[in-house]
Amino acid sequence: MISDNCGLNLLHPIAGFSLGTTCAAIKTPGRRDLVIMKLAKGSKVAALFTQNAFCAAPVLVAKRALQRGCSRYLVVNTGNANAGTGERGVQHAELTCQEIAKLTGVDVSDVMPFSTGVIGEYLPIDRLLKAIPGALSHLDEDGWSEAANGIMTTDTRPKGASVKLTIPTSTKTDDIDGPTRAVNGTLTLTGIAKGSGMIKPDMATMLSFIATDATVDAELLHRALRLAAEKSFNRITVDGDTSTNDALVFAATGCGDVIIDEGNFELFATHLEALCTELAQACVRDGEGATKFVSIVTTGAASQLEAKATAYTVAESPLVKTALGASDPNWGRILAAVGRAPIPNLDISKVSVSLNGTAIVEGGARALGYTEQAGQAAMQPTDIHIVIDLGRGESSETVWTTDLGHEYVRINAEYRT
In this structure, which amino acid lies at residue 5? N
What integer is the mean pLDDT of 185-193? Answer: 96
- Residue 5: pLDDT above 60? no
Please give the pLDDT value at position 203: 53
Name the least confident of 92-96, 169-173, 316-320, 387-391. Answer: 169-173
Query: Rounded mean pLDDT of 50-57?
Result: 91
pLDDT band at 2, cuts 50/70/90? Answer: low
What is the average pLDDT across 97-110?
A: 97
Nearest partner of 275 among 322, 231, 310, judged by Cα = 231
Q: Where exactly are the structural domains of the chain?
A: 8-283, 293-413
* Model pTM score: 0.90
Q: Are 404 and 375 in contact (CB under 8 A)?
A: no
CATH number for the domain formed by residue range(s) 8-283: 3.60.70.12
**pLDDT at residue 415, as a whole number:** 63
Say if CB 115 and CB 83 are below 8 A apart: yes
In whole angstroms, give the CA distance from residue 267 to residue 65: 29
3-state secondary structure of 364: coil
Cα 196 to Cα 47: distance, rounded to the nearest angstrom: 21
The torsion angle over the Cα atoms of residues 134, 140, 142 and 146, rounded to 10 degrees, is: 10
* Mean pLDDT, rounded, for 166-178: 63
Mean per-residue pLDDT of the chain? 90
| pLDDT value of residue 3 | 53
| Residue 176 pLDDT | 44
- How far is the CA of 358 from the CAs of 244, 266, 340, 390, 401, in angstroms? 39, 36, 23, 17, 20
Nearest to 74 by CA among 116, 39, 46: 39
Which residues lie closer than 8 Å to 30 by C-beta, 6 or more apart?
23
210 closest CA partner among 248, 246, 250: 250
398 an active-site residue?
Answer: no
pLDDT over 50 (residue 309)? yes
Q: How many CB atoms within 10 Å of residue 95? A: 17
Do 33 and 135 form a contact (C-beta atoms < 8 A)?
A: no
Would the pLDDT of 241 be above 90?
Answer: no
Average confidence (pLDDT) over 76-104:
97
In the set 154, 169, 205, 358, the catalytic residue is 205
Spatial distance between the Cα atoms of 155 and 288, rounded to a whole number of angstroms: 8
pLDDT at res. 204? 47
Q: What is the DSSP letter of 23?
A: E
What's the Cα-to-Cα distance from 52 to each of 2, 55, 206, 223, 241, rounded to whole Å?
A: 28, 5, 12, 22, 10
User: Which has the closest alpha carbon to 395: 286, 305, 311, 271?
Assistant: 305
- Give the tens place of pLDDT for each residue, 23-33: 999 998 989 99
Mean pLDDT of the 348-360 span: 96
Interatomic CA distance for residues 172 and 267, integer angstroms: 21
* Architecture in CATH of 293-413: Roll (3.10)
Q: What is the pLDDT averaged over residues 103-131? A: 96
- Whether 174 shows a pLDDT value over 50: the answer reads no
Range with lowest mean pLDDT among 79-93, 262-276, 348-362, 400-414: 400-414
Looking at the chain, the number of H-run helices and the number of E-run strands are: 11, 15
384-392 average pLDDT score: 97
- Please say whether the beta carbons of 41 and 255 come within 8 A: no
> What pLDDT shows up at residue 366?
95
pLDDT, position 175: 45
- Return phi, psi of residue 185, to 5°: -130, 165
Neighbouring CB atoms inside 10 A of 277's CB total 19
